[in-house]
Amino acid sequence: MALKGTLKDFGIADILQLIGQQQKTGVLYVKSKAEEVEVSFLNGNVVRAQSKTRKSKELLGAMLVDSGLVAQEDLDQALEVQRRTLKRLGDILVSEGKLLADDLSDLTQLQTTETLYKLFAWKNGTYEFVQQDVEPDPAAGRPIRPESVLMEGFRRIDEWPQVHRLIPSFSLAFERLRPLLTPALPKDARPEDIDRALDAALVVGAEAQEHAAGNVGPAEQQLYRLADPGLTVQRLIDLSRLGEFETCKALSNLVEAGYLATVTPKKVQPAAPARQRPRFGLATQLRRSAFQTGLGVLAVALVTVLADRLVPPPADPPAVPARTGVAERVLADDEIARLVSALEQSRLRHGHYPDSLDELVTDGLVDESDLTYPFRRAYYYRRTKDAYVLLPPL
């Protein structure tokens, strides 16, 4: 399978979807001017994503220390062993009893997902998929299905603007405004039970007293406990081990519900210079002031002329089709709901879901235009053993 080109022509979501559909095994190399990422696939599932230009803070050792799982002195000793033996850092820490294998797997998986979902924000770059053998790595965490990657990637793109409105900076800190009660949920609570508790907790105002105020999801509970005075968003990301998006989303929920308030770090203002008694008479002072003002105006004019000559004018932004964005996704949600209804009718009629969406048109359940609206290409559909996968085209 030859898969090579630029992200302007073929987006990262299209690439992941194609590799997943064909259940390929190999490595996807994605490069931009400043970054390089390798994504490994095993039978179409993502098993590892690593950045070749990862910042020092994003390295596994730094993440282990920042999250509180490993002490700095233990990491230094493990790095020394790694230099002598060339063994993997995580394996050394686990073998020496400094780190639990489950914690290593969870943090490695977090490292993979954080690297993977950042690719959805790339607009420029090149990609190349090379089919080759990929050895499964138990320490790398669970394989991620391509459908899950696409749905989570789109969710983050859609929700980040709202989250960023409430959490605009990783340097913000928080103060607790009211207590957060532990939800009265059993240990084996179902996801829908947690969702209902979360909805109840996120009602602001008088309605919050009528609901079980404080019943929020596990992420919100964890962040509320961690949000001690002075801890910034970045520090909470490190300690929670939830990743940037999930941490900021939970914090924004708590802020919106009135449990936390953001605190902007105080900026140190420079001290005003002490006033001195003028050494010259008034006329001399006026002449000096006029001379200095003239020099300032001349300097500004020279800088402006040089900037116009040296700095090229900004390029026009690329044209974006009017149908892309939030409006198109809203229309797609309605269309998907119509297709889901038709799929259920087909299952009741034939005893199983159809092999393709074209069968819905044959049965007269939808029109042919429903298979693409509001896009130019058809929706992605794949029948599984007992269900199906239905996603917007990319």
- Return the pLDDT at 383: 87
Amino acid 212: pLDDT: 35
Residue 368's pLDDT is: 86
Sequence-distant (≥ 6) Cβ neighbours of residue 367 within 8 angstroms:
361
Arithmetic mean of pLDDT, 321-342: 69
Q: For 263-286, how does the pLDDT look when each residue is reduced to its tens digit (9 = 90+)?
A: 876 654 444 444 444 444 444 444
Angstrom CA distances, 205 to 197, 211, 224, 307, stand at 16, 11, 19, 53
150, 208 Cβ separation under 8 angstroms: no
**In the predicted structure, residue 39 carries a pLDDT above the cut 90:** yes
Phi, psi of 380 (to 5 degrees): -85, 125
Rounded mean pLDDT of 86-95? Answer: 87
> Of 224, 250, 238, 268, nearest to 58 (Cα)?
238
pLDDT computed for residue 298 by the predictor: 56
Report pLDDT for 268: 45
The pTM of the full predicted model, rounded to 2 decimals, is: 0.57
Range of weakest confidence among 36-40, 51-55, 79-83, 249-253 = 51-55
Q: What is the DSSP secondary-structure string of 162-181?
A: HHHHH---TT-EEEE-S--P
Instruction: Report whether pLDDT(317) > 60.
Output: no
Higher pLDDT, 317 or 52: 52
How would you classify the pairing of strands 388-391 and 380-383? antiparallel
Q: What is the overall mean pLDDT for the chain?
A: 77
Instruction: Quote the radius of gyration of the chain (alpha carbons, Å).
Output: 28
Here the tokens at position 3 are 């898969």
pLDDT of amino acid 375: 80
- The better pLDDT of the pair 269, 230 is held by 230
Cβ–Cβ under 8 Å, residues 241 and 100: no
| pLDDT at residue 248, as a whole number | 94
Over 70: is that where the pLDDT of 373 sits? yes
Q: What's the CA gap between 11 and 126, in Å, rounded?
A: 10
pLDDT given at position 127: 92
HSE at residue 164, side-chain half, CA atoms within 13 A, is 6
pLDDT on residue 259: 93
pLDDT at 393: 79
Q: Using the structure block, give the residue that is written with the tokens 């449990």.
A: 259
For residue 215, what pLDDT is reported?
46
Sketch the domain layout of the chain as residue ranges.
Answer: 3-158, 167-263, 326-391
CA gap 305, 323 in Å, rounded: 41
pLDDT value of position 172: 92
Percent of the chain predicted with pLDDT > 70:
72
User: Binning pLDDT at 50, 70 and 90, where does residue 209 land?
Assistant: very low
- pLDDT of residue 261 exceeding 50: yes
Give the pLDDT confidence score for residue 280 in this predicted structure: 44
pLDDT tens profile 116-163: 888 888 888 999 999 999 987 777 778 888 888 888 888 888 898 899
Of the candidates 159, 140, 113, 189, the one whose C-alpha atom is nearest the C-alpha of residue 42 is 140
Across 216-238, average pLDDT: 90
**What pLDDT, on a 0 to 100 scale, did the predictor assign at position 210?**
37
Contacts of 347 (CB under 8 A, 6+ apart): 353
Q: What is the DSSP string of 286-344?
A: HHHHHHHHHHHHHHHHHHHHHHHHHSPPPPPPPP--TT-SHHHHHHHHHHHHHHHHHHH
Which residue from 202, 238, 204 is spatially nearest to 222, judged by alpha carbons? 238
Is pLDDT at 302 greater than 80 in this prediction?
no
Q: Name the residue among 184, 183, 194, 179 with its Cα closest to residue 258.
A: 179
d(CA 379, CA 79): 49
Three-state SS for 339-351 is: HHHHHHHHHHHHC
Mean pLDDT in residue range 238-243? 90
Q: Which helix (H) or strand (E) holds 260?
A: strand 260-263
Q: Which amino acid is at 297?
A: V
> What local confidence, expressed as pLDDT, does residue 205 receive?
41
Q: Is the pLDDT of residue 184 over 60?
A: no
Confidence check: pLDDT of 233 > 90? yes
pLDDT at 185 over 60: no
Distance CA 54, CA 208 (A): 43
DSSP string, 338-388: HHHHHHHHHHHHHSS--SSTHHHHHTTSS-GGGGTTTSSSPPEEEE-SSSE
> How many other CB atoms are found less than 10 A from the CB of residue 59?
14
Which pLDDT band, with edges at 50, 70 and 90, does 214 fall under? very low
Rounded CA-CA distance 238/350 in Å is 51
What span, in angstroms and rounded, lies between the C-alpha atoms of 371 and 388?
Answer: 15
